[in-house]
A and B are shown apart, each in its own frame.
Chain A
Amino acid sequence: MNNEPIIEIRGLQKNFGSFTAVKDVSFTVNKGDVFGFLGPNGAGKSTTMRCMLSLIKPNAGQIHIFGKNLFEERNAILAKVGSIVEKPDFYKYLSALKNLEIFARISGAAVSQKTIYETLEFVGLSGREKDKVGGFSHGMRQRLGIAQTLLHQPELIILDEPTTGLDPQGIIEVRDLILRLKHEQNKTVILSSHQLAEIEHVANRMVIINKGQTIIEGSVSELMNAQETILSIELLDKGQQALEFLQGRFSAGKAVLISPKKLELTIERNLVPTLNAALVNAGFEVVALEPKRTLEDFFIQMTQS
């Protein structure tokens, strides 16, 4: 990863009649990022993504991808982008292979049959290439959608809600695919998702938007660590003594004894290792430390504030 910007969006605005879907969205995606794009329903995520792919023309704002203005050099930019918006839709009356051939033909790159078969294998659809897409499960279509994004070896991959409707196994498969794209192919990936845990698992940077506006942008770990978390501490014994030990020692909120062996306190995430060391040095036998605040809590806090 480096700080070479791949996507720069500034002051994006889109109105549909009198309804403002996107009011003021700005963020930057750097090369090699897996970038999480978060926001509640109706926040303007899909509209922003559609603007990034020139499916929708914004009323105001700038979109630069690979340093070029999207609306001036659309075709040159899209030749280096693979995307799924909302859900991958295919020609159901055609086979997976024919569908990929159709999209490959207009991808702006020379895609060989060998590449198509290799891509199908990469997404786990090898052997199903001659089957009509109409008979595919949702998960298979999602994987075919990812295959379609990869055919022309794009530098940037845009995935809008790539795990929507998938079962837990499918979610894990897509998550693994995204991580493989990052680690094996060094792609820049931007993904939006309602599976907030998924962003936490795969993204290194993120932006949260709400009501069409950017709320916060930054590194996932920094944003998470800068936030207070409810820490659940499980000890072998001496819960009451640990509670007294911790009172006033860490600047965050008050500690609460949940059971004789378990207590909870509010603390900044980056202080958790220090707290652990302090407890151990004081002779407490720590069984488990579990931060209870997740990205989901963070997301809710951000979007409701």
Chain B
Amino acid sequence: MLWKNTYNEFIKILAKPRSYIGLAALTLLICIILFAMKADGRMYISFVTASFEQTLSFNGNILNGNLIAFIVLQMLIVHIPLLVALVTGDLLSGEAAMGTLRMLLTKPISRSQVVLSKLIAAAVYTFILVIWMGFLALMVGRWVFGSGDLIVLNSDGLVILNDADVLWRYGLAFLVAYLALLTIATLSVAFSAFADNSIGPIVSTMAVIILFTIIGSLDVSVFDSVKPWLFTTHMASWRSFFNDPVPWSAIWESIWILLAHNILFVAIALFKFQRKDITS
């Protein structure tokens, strides 16, 4: 029954216009970034390299597909949670608002199977978003701008990664970025289990992200013990793959914390939904 309902969930997601908003928005944003970089990328890059030009000489194709993919990831990873929540926050509460949840739960399918099938569908949808972003940013970026060594400016300074050493980093970076977005998906599904309207869980998810991000960025010692445990702190851990050497222990720590959040949010969704009186 779980897989049958998961199949149903895919049909519903595919048929809903809002499911394509995320893909369309991503495509548009990445195309705009690619166009802007094609038109004025050299100027943009020179701002970054200017401070190093007294000590370093940059030769070759600096503005390449690898750099474009990095810029795209950095710019969009902040906004994609909204696109994810737009679909996943609606999965349970949207059905409650439509009245179809009532219809669904009079069938011989357990409530936990309903929640899990929606979570699987949410996970697949999020994965498709990340894959699409990766394809557009990396593949189209390489096709338009060509390949080359990746120059990354981080807090420790300038990191230059050989072209041949980049693809595996992107593969793993996208996986960790996916795990971060999956956390958003499970959070919004958990909120969705409490609500009977579509907009509440989406707004609540974004509010939590904004709140945690602000707490994470506040340089106040009172929050120092909390910050490492906020999932938002680990949402940018994909960047660590572009350090040299790769800080594996920090990445694994981020992965465990994100996984723990995912498990917690799924447990909350299951607990709440099992006990919920369907009055809508």
In the complex, whether B12 has a CB less than 8 A from a CB of chain A is yes
* Residues of chain A in range 229-271 having any CB-CB distance to chain B below 8 Å: none
A149 to chain B, nearest CB (A): 9
In the complex, whether B98 has a CB less than 8 A from a CB of chain A is yes
What chain B residues lie within 8 Å of A90 (beta carbons)? 100, 103
User: Which A residues lie at the B interface, using CB under 8 A?
Assistant: 16, 50, 53-57, 74-79, 81, 83, 85-94, 98, 102-103, 105-108, 148
Query: Are A53 and B106 interface neighbours, CB within 8 A?
Result: yes
The 5 lowest CB-CB distance pairs between A and B, nearest first, are: A89-B99, A55-B278, A75-B108, A108-B108, A79-B108
Convert B76-115 into 0s and 1s, putting 1 for each residue whose CB lies closer than 8 angstroms to a CB of A.
Answer: 0000000000000000000000111011111111100000
Q: Which of A78, A79, A87, A105 contacts B7 (CB 8 A)?
A: A105
Q: Is chain A's binding surface mostly helix, strand, loop or mixed?
A: loop
In the complex, whether B15 has a CB less than 8 A from a CB of chain A is yes
In the bound complex, CA of A100 to CA of B17 (Å): 20
What chain A residues lie within 8 Å of B8 (beta carbons)? 102, 105-106
What chain A residues lie within 8 Å of B12 (beta carbons)? 91, 94, 102
In the complex, whether B38 has a CB less than 8 A from a CB of chain A is no
Known: A50-B278, A89-B99. A108 touches B107 (CB 8 A): yes
Q: Taking each of A77, A91, A93, A94, which has the highest tally of chain B beta carbons within 10 Å of its own beta carbon?
A: A91
Q: Taking each of B5, B7, B98, B106, which has the highest tally of chain A beta carbons within 10 Å of its own beta carbon?
A: B106
In the bound complex, CA of A234 to CA of B177 (Å): 85
Query: Are B277 and A75 interface neighbours, CB within 8 A?
Result: no
In the complex, whether B42 has a CB less than 8 A from a CB of chain A is no
What chain A residues lie within 8 Å of B105 (beta carbons)? 53-55
| Nearest CB in chain B to that of A76: its residue | B108
Known: A85-B102, A89-B102, A106-B5. A56 touches B107 (CB 8 A): no
Query: Are A106 and B106 interface neighbours, CB within 8 A?
Result: no
In the bound complex, CA of A91 to CA of B12 (Å): 8
| Nearest CB in chain B to that of A46: its residue | B279
Place the interface of chain B in its size category.
20 to 34
User: Which B residues lie at the A interface, using CB under 8 A?
Assistant: 1, 4-5, 7-8, 11-12, 15-17, 98-100, 102-110, 275, 277-279
In the bound complex, CA of A189 to CA of B180 (Å): 50
Query: Are B108 and A91 interface neighbours, CB within 8 A?
Result: no
A204 to chain B, nearest CB (A): 24
In the bound complex, CA of A98 to CA of B108 (Å): 19
Known: A78-B108, A83-B106, A103-B103. A93 touches B5 (CB 8 A): no
| Nearest CB in chain B to that of A21: its residue | B279
| Nearest CB in chain B to that of A90: its residue | B100
In the bound complex, CA of A74 to CA of B100 (Å): 19
B270 to chain A, nearest CB (A): 16
In the bound complex, CA of A50 to CA of B106 (Å): 9
In the bound complex, CA of A102 to CA of B1 (Å): 12
A-B contact pairs, 9 of them (CB 8 A): A55-B102, A55-B106, A77-B108, A78-B108, A85-B103, A89-B100, A89-B102, A93-B17, A106-B1
What chain A residues lie within 8 Å of B275 (beta carbons)? 57
Query: Are A55 and B108 interface neighbours, CB within 8 A?
Result: no
Known: A87-B99, A89-B98, A98-B11. A106 touches B279 (CB 8 A): no
In the bound complex, CA of A105 to CA of B5 (Å): 7
Query: Are B4 and A106 interface neighbours, CB within 8 A?
Result: yes
What chain A residues lie within 8 Å of B1 (beta carbons)? 106, 108
What chain B residues lie within 8 Å of A85 (beta carbons)? 102-103, 106
B11 to chain A, nearest CB (A): 7
B158 to chain A, nearest CB (A): 50
In the bound complex, CA of A92 to CA of B98 (Å): 9
